Amino acid sequence: MTKKTGGLYIALLSIHGLIRWHNLELGRDADTGGQTLYVVELAQALAKQPGIGKVDLITQRVTDKNLSADYAKPIETLADNLRILRIEAGPEEYLAKEDLWDHLDFFTDNLASFFRDNNSFPDIIHSHYADAGYVGSHLAKQLGIPLIHTGHSLGRVKRSRLMASGLNAQEIEKRFNMSRRIEAEEQTLATAERVITSTHQEIAEQYELYDHYQPDQMRVVPPGTNLKQFTPPNGDELQTSLFKDLTCHLKNPDKPIVLALSRPDRRKNIRALIDAFGQSPQLQELANLLIIAGIDTTWSAIGSGLWHFAQHPDQVERLVAVDDDDLLWNTATEEVLRYYAPVTMARKVVGETEVGGCPVHPGDQMLLTFPAANHDPAAFENPDVFDMDRLNNRHVAFGLGIHRCVGSNLAHPTPSNHSSGQACASRTVTCQTPSTS
């Protein structure tokens, strides 16, 4: 190894999710959320600190036709001392974190080779989450580099929560590769010089569950706030275009807002918020409820469900009269997706052809109207009727074939997670249809 000059070289490892410097696709899937933003802003903040010579944010390289080509760039530089390194992890396509475990050794070898080929080795490796901890612990042992680790969430805690929700151990293992995650976390805790947590509660109640629990090596660093984006109010917020955009569909926009902003994950407890608001006339009198959950297709689906049920109290009464696991909840959710399909896809024509008697040519743009397909009388009986009991419901809300949404398996349960809350809220909430003038 060469002797370094000019400040510390820090390597941040955050392997899963989609990471780039600009236009983060937060909420696109379960892997591209708070941790993604955290490591991007951490890298930028560290690079500005005195005594720091270079910061590399290291993640998986993804070459996938369904994703931006940005994620296939091996190196993305933001400043002279700040860049993203994307390392091959085996398969080119985008993999969820649960599917990365078989490829982490390959990722580790490729990253070690990158350091050796460039004759430049970090002074510190800071790993984020269990998969990066696995890679970081191996590199720390191979290269003699100190490892710092931030868990973000822990496998033993998640497994306990999932079992409490009713999932059995076999299903948890099948879906989440939980034993490999926990083994990687144990290995990381045994190797790391320091473990960074956000609260003392993490140390005392969560990490305490691990065999390699070493509280003396753990430090609390509370998450910071970007003061360029979040500032104290100056008094003119209600006159901004943002406020008008947020409140244009509200019946009484001058009331205070209860705002929920998160990805549509069960753990975010959006359903409990909707339940509480929908069952409290006093709260509804005092404030408006505004939920921004995930990307536009997700919140469109949730919003369409709220809007629909608010206008059909008879359907709401049927839903709230049955248990949450009743078949009616599933059929109602599928009918929301069919009737109010949130996605319309655009594609470029690549060959000369004809569609419905209309000639199209290479280079033309076409709009694939999935909502129209979901109202096709050749495919659905009484297609323009919202039928909560519809059993034969092979809708195309998520697309078809190679054009099917790659995140549909993650997104598909989302509206049903909130359907019960939608129904409760819709019993008392009234909606205002925006004027077309």
The DSSP symbol for 219 reads: E
CA 417 remoteness from chain centre = 15
Q: Which of 64-78, 140-154, 267-281 has the lowest mean pLDDT?
A: 267-281
Contact 109, 96 (CB under 8 A): no
* Percent of the chain residues topping a pLDDT of 90: 51
The whole-angstrom separation of Cα 53 and Cα 122 is: 10
The whole-angstrom separation of Cα 121 and Cα 77 is: 18
Q: What is the mean pLDDT of residues 372-400?
A: 88
CA distances from 337 to 115, 325, 397, 402, 420 (A): 48, 18, 6, 20, 15
The pair of structure tokens assigned to 339 is 């009737």
CA distances from 36 to 12, 195, 345, 358 (A): 12, 19, 27, 45
Over 50: is that where the pLDDT of 263 sits?
yes
SS3 379: coil
pLDDT of res. 188: 98
- Sequence-ordered strand ranges (E) for 147-191: 147-150
Query: CB neighbours (10 Å) of residue 48?
Result: 11
**CB-side neighbour CA atoms (13 Å) of 83:** 13
Over 70: is that where the pLDDT of 1 sits?
no
Ranges 183-187, 248-252, 253-257, most confident: 183-187
Nearest partner of 392 among 383, 384, 400, judged by Cα: 383
Nearest partner of 372 among 410, 352, 345, judged by Cα: 345
Q: What is the mean pLDDT of residues 254-259?
A: 91
pLDDT of res. 247: 87
Over 90: is that where the pLDDT of 131 sits?
yes
The answer to whether the Cα torsion of 14, 18, 20, 22 is positive or negative is negative
Query: What pTM was estimated for this model as a whole?
Result: 0.67
Q: Is 51 left (phi over 0), alpha (psi -120 to 50) or beta?
A: left
**Band (428; pLDDT cuts 50, 70, 90):** very low
Over 50: is that where the pLDDT of 430 sits?
no
Ranges 64-78, 125-139, 302-316, most confident: 125-139
pLDDT of res. 411: 53
**Band (230; pLDDT cuts 50, 70, 90):** confident
**Band (3; pLDDT cuts 50, 70, 90):** very low
pLDDT of res. 242: 86
Over 80: is that where the pLDDT of 325 sits?
no
DSSP 3-state helix, strand, coil percentages of the chain (rounded to 5)?
45, 15, 40
Question: 33-50: per-residue pLDDT in tens?
Answer: 889 999 999 999 999 999
* Percent of the chain residues topping a pLDDT of 70: 88
CA 61, 38, 43: angle at the middle one, nearest 5?
70
Q: What is the mean pLDDT of residues 121-137?
A: 98
Question: What angle, rounded to 10 degrees, do the helices at 313-320 and 414-426 form?
Answer: 110
pLDDT of res. 407: 58
Contact 110, 88 (CB under 8 A): yes
What is the average pLDDT score of the chain?
86
Q: What is the mean pLDDT of residues 397-407?
A: 68
Over 50: is that where the pLDDT of 435 sits?
no
Nearest partner of 428 among 317, 329, 323, 318, judged by Cα: 317
In total, the chain counts a number of residues equal to 437
**Which DSSP string corresponds to 309-358?**
HHT-HHHHHHHHTS-TTSHHHHHHHHHHHHHT----EEEE--S-EEETTE
**Band (278; pLDDT cuts 50, 70, 90):** confident
Q: Which residues pair with 55 in a beta bridge?
A: 10, 82
User: Domains of the chain, with CATH numbers?
Assistant: 8-220 (3.40.50.2000), 238-426 (1.10.630.10)
The DSSP symbol for 207 reads: G
